[in-house]
Structures are given as C-alpha cells and as structure tokens.
Amino acid sequence: MKTEKMEPPRRGGKSKGEKFSCVYQGTTVAGGYWFEDRRVFEKQVKPEDFFRSLQTYGIDDPNVQALRERGCKEILLMVTGGCTYRIAFETFLEKSKKIDWPARENFRFPLRWYCPLKYWRLAGGGVEPQSNGAFTNGPRQGDLFRVPRD
C-alpha cells in the first residue's frame, strides 16, 4: 500500500459538506459527506464493516451514481480508530466489483460497490491494521491443525 503526504481530510472542520445517506437493513443511515469545493467524498466506516472476502468496505450504488453525476475526483475512507485511505474516483470505478445484494435475496443492502484496499493509498491517521486477520491473509485458527509439507 502506497503512503503519500497529502492534505489531511477535514474532520470536524467548519464545513461538514453535504450529507449522503445509505441503507442498512431497511434503515437510512449516514453514508458519507460530499465536499463540492474539493470534489471529494468522505466516508467514515467501522472496522467491523470490513468485507473480508473482497478486503474492503462497501459504498452504496445510489451514492456512487450521485458522485459520478457531480464529477467526483476522489474518495476518502476513514476507518474509525484506524487509517484513512484515498483513491481517485476513476480508479474506484475501474477496480470495483458490484454486488447486487437484493438479487441474491439479501435485503440488508442495496447494490454496492467494493474496491479492494490494495488499490487505495494510505493517507494517514494511524497504523494500518494487520493483526486481526481481517486485513491480511495470515494464519487462521484452522492452520493450527495443518501439517506442514516439506
């Protein structure tokens, strides 16, 4: 993961930006903030929201479409108690996988976009989580019972 010195994201600054919503289990919840002046979307996520199989966090399709219409340049992903990641919006669109959850009869989420963290740049905020297994392909509990092959 690349690390770059860049302008830190606005956290609690004068402008809170325009609030975007997303849906979880049929309830509307905060989905992030749009900053028109910078053409940046900032999304706060919790570590437990991490989608392990794709190594990322999701962004709802209605928000992605709104960002596309507004000419978004960059997305900032701020993990509570962890790191801040950034990605160019065009890269996000190119590298993301879309999952249509309702088509899979999972109605907790709408269609969501998932771009693996390997395509994001570390923008600051803390030490990248490595020890919980969620961010790495390291040893798992089942590994205790495997016999090494020589």
Q: Would the pLDDT of 14 be above 80?
A: no
**Per residue in 88-135, pLDDT tens?**
999 999 999 998 877 778 777 788 999 999 999 998 766 555 434 444
Which pTM does this prediction carry?
0.72
**Per residue in 34-89, pLDDT tens?**
999 999 999 998 888 888 888 888 899 999 999 999 999 999 999 988 899 999 99
150 in any annotated domain? no
74 in any annotated domain? yes
Full domain range(s) for residue 25: 18-125
134 in any annotated domain? no
Tokens of 119: 């395509």
From the number of C-beta atoms within 10 Å of its C-beta (0-12, 13-18, 19+), residue 125 rates as middle
Q: Residue 88 is which amino acid? A: A
Please count the structural domains in the chain.
1
pLDDT of residue 135: 47
145 in any annotated domain? no
